[in-house]
Structure 1
Amino acid sequence: MSTPESLQDVYIDELKDLWSANDQMLKVIKKITAKASDAALKDMLTKSQDGIASHTAILKELIAGQDEKVSKDHCKGMEGLAAEAIKHVIEEGPDKGPVLDVLIIAQYQRMTHYGIAGFGTAAAFAKALGLKDDNKKLRDATKDIYASDAFMTKLAETSVNLEAEDA
């Protein structure tokens, strides 16, 4: 990433950073899905992989639409979140069961919150730049991410956390 000189530059940098963040999150989700014990959690993790891939396709489309080289910039923020998820779920977490499911949800939500912030910020940049179509696509993606986060919160509060408490 070169030094941004305009909001347009910042917008493009954000899109490229989000692409990298999505790729990193997708790799982690693929690794932890098989470890989930709760059927609803496993199903949501599987569905989220398609959502992440769809959002990545949107990012590539938006970058190309700005006549930019369709490439990504390594996201160090997600790198740290992904490393934490691997540490807590794969390396140090229990082999299976409700306590592991609690850890999976916690790490998933941390990564998801990063996505909410990034996509929301990119949508605001697009709006300021008068890129109405980009803004709509980014807002729709943000809504999708919010919905998956809300599902995970409900799942945690209504079943997974309770099961872990009894474990």
Structure 2
Amino acid sequence: MTKLKDLYIEELQDLWSANEQMSEVVSAMADKASDSKLADRLSAAKDGIDQHTRLLKFLLEAADADMKKEHCKGMEGLVKEARRHALDSDMSGAALDVAIIAQYQRMCHYGIAGFGTTKAFAEALGDDDAIRKLDDALDNIYESDDFMSELAQRSRNVDAA
């Protein structure tokens, strides 16, 4: 199981980097959103991302791992795309909000994949505490993603049309 534990630790370190990158761009998107519900949800999501980062650090400590992050190139690419397609675009109003939602959801889905993989590793390693905590984090990410889908379908996509 040493090899799997190494993968688990590497995934935690990668997610730490991913979360820090995502937190920064989500904060910028919250500032630029025109819809108050979207801005509020992005601000709350930033707080959740930061909470998840603290969780990742806790899990690294619990695994007696090196307290370092592994630069996440996947999230780096998603952040660049979010900046290009939303933050640095010439769009405004509902069209910008739709672009922000789309980019946020791409990053969320990356997080779902990463946290889901990490939870599967914790399950294989028999770490019940990590499983429960990672499952809670996943629930939070799914909830945020669902909210964004509903907001887009209910108002922002219609307004942007």
Q: TM-score, normalised by structure 2?
A: 0.97
Q: How far apart in 2 are the matches of 1:138 and 1:71?
A: 19
Show CA shifts across 1:6-43 (max 9, x none).
00000000000000000000010111111101111011
1:156 aligns with 2:161: no
Aligned counterparts, 1:7-156, within 5 A: 7-94=4-91, 96-156=92-152
Q: Give the partner amino acid of 1:26.
A: S
Q: How far apart in 2 are the matches of 1:123 and 1:85?
A: 27
Show CA shifts across 1:111-164 (max 9, x none).
000000000110010000000100110111011000000000000000110110
- SS of residue matched to 2:32: coil
Give the number of equivalent residue pairs. Answer: 160
Q: How far apart in 1 are the matches of 2:90 and 2:50?
A: 27
CA apart distance, 1:70: 1.1
Query: Residue 93 of structure 1 contacts residue 103 of structure 1 at CA under 8 Å; is this kept in 2?
Result: no
User: Which stretches of structure 1, 4 residues or more, deviate above 4 A after TM superposition?
Assistant: none
Q: How far apart in 1 are the matches of 2:101 and 2:90?
A: 13
Q: How far apart in 2 are the matches of 1:91 and 1:153?
A: 23
List alignment gaps of at least 5 residues for structure 1: none
What fraction of aligned residue pairs are identical, expressed as a percent?
Answer: 54
Q: TM-score, normalised by structure 1?
A: 0.94
Q: How far apart in 2 are the matches of 1:74 and 1:156?
A: 31
**Could you say which structure has the higher helix fraction?**
2
CA apart distance, 1:53: 0.6
List alignment gaps of at least 5 residues for structure 2: none
Q: Structure 1's 42 and 9: CA in aligned 2 closer, same or farther, altered over 3 A? A: same
CA apart distance, 1:68: 1.1
CA apart distance, 1:93: 3.8
Root-mean-square deviation (CA), in Å?
A: 0.8
